Amino acid sequence: MNGWIILDKPLGLGSTQAVGAVKRVCREAGLGKVKVGHGGTLDPLASGVLPIALGEATKLCGRMLDASKIYAFTIAFGTETDGLDAEGEVVASSDVRPTLAEVEAVLPRFTGAIEQVPPAYSAIKIDGQRAYDLARKGEAVEMKARSVTIFSLRHAGLDPASMAAPAEWTPDQVR
């Protein structure tokens, strides 16, 4: 069996667990031992598309990891957490909310070739362990800046013709 399964990975499931589940289903279906891999690692607290490779397709997994990707995300203004995610402990809060124009004005600063420091709650390995595992154990995790290229950044869900309204964003408008 060769090919791809495109998994809409739910919260709580790790990438390795997803691969294990596919292997188990293949065995239970009588397919024998099928080589299975994935084309990207998602934190168990992240949801989204996880490409699962079967058989000969596993030879492409490395290329998938290094390929350009498209991300959709939601931003909520007003709190900062220790993990820079929705699951962390709140460490700061503010009633200040940027206007749409203010957010659009800073987007160019985050496009092009930039240096990015991944959050401690990322799937990047440090000394053979996932950073998110170390961070969740309470260990200090020092993440090094990485060069990335952001080709474009845009907001979704708002009609560009009506950019003047609303003056303030609500969390469900920012994606």
Whether residue 129 has pLDDT greater than 50: yes
Could you state, in order of their start, the residue ranges of all structural domains in the chain?
3-66, 72-109+159-175, 112-151
Tokens representing residue 100 in the block: 């749409």
> Do you know the residue count of the chain?
175
Q: From CA 88, how far away is CA 82, in angstroms rounded?
A: 5
Q: Out of 8, 43, 66, 133, pick the active-site residue.
A: 43
Active site residue 82: no
Summarised one tens digit per residue, pLDDT across range 135-174 is 888 898 889 998 989 998 887 755 444 433 344 444 444 4
Summarised one tens digit per residue, pLDDT across range 11-32 is 889 888 999 999 999 999 999 8
Strands 125-126 and 129-130: antiparallel
